[in-house]
Amino acid sequence: MARKPRRPIITAFERSPDGGKGLARDMRVRWALEEVGQPYDVRLVSFAAMKTPGHLALHPFGQIPTYEEGGLVLFESGARSSSAALS
């Protein structure tokens, strides 16, 4: 039986500093994935969690978003958005 592919995971603020107006960088990645019809999951992170070793391993600047798909981890939202457009 073939394994169902895992959906990509992006990180986003647990509490948005812009009050949910869509100005955080995760919006760029969400928009690109929505445009190409790619389902994804979201992992919400707090400001404190962004500075933990686990998150810093994904994003060396301790920010959002991160994009994880299989063994691929990207932390630059522009690169991920461009990649979605080419998919």
> Pick from 59, 85, 83: which is nearest to 73 by CA?
59
pLDDT in tens, 16-47: 777 666 678 888 888 888 998 999 999 999 99
pLDDT for res 2: 57
CATH topology of domain 9-86: Glutaredoxin (3.40.30)
Q: How far apart are CA 45 and CA 74, in angstroms?
A: 16
Q: How far apart are CA 78 and CA 23, in angstroms?
A: 14
pTM (2 d.p.): 0.79
Instruction: Write down the H helix ranges in 21-67.
Output: 26-36, 53-58
